[in-house]
Amino acid sequence: MRQVHEADILEELEFARRAAERFAADPELYSYTEKDIVPGAFLALRWGLGKDCVAVLKLDELHAPTIYTQQIPRAATNTKDTQS
């Protein structure tokens, strides 16, 4: 069981709603944040089979966010060019 303050849940819910609006406006967008990727920041990911859900994560102080560069082959990132 977790104990939370109502304000914390409302802040996360409002963030999820803002992320959903951004995802709806841009079908190519799969992640959203309003701050730098730092501990304590919320990170939203487009989620679900219908890509209509929002997963909200909160980065914590115990894990350093890491960006692994050049992990996806270029052909996979340029699907628009290869589908002609």
Q: Which of 48, 39, 46, 38 is nearest to 16 (CA)?
A: 46
How high is the pLDDT of residue 28? 94
Question: Which of 67, 53, 58, 56 has its CA nearest to residue 23?
Answer: 53
Specify the amino acid at residue 35: K
> Which amino acid is it at 59?
L
Q: Where are the domains of the chain?
A: 6-82
Q: Which has the closest alpha carbon to 32: 55, 51, 8?
A: 55
22-81 per-position pLDDT tens digit: 999 999 999 999 988 888 899 999 999 999 999 999 888 887 777 777 877 876 555 555
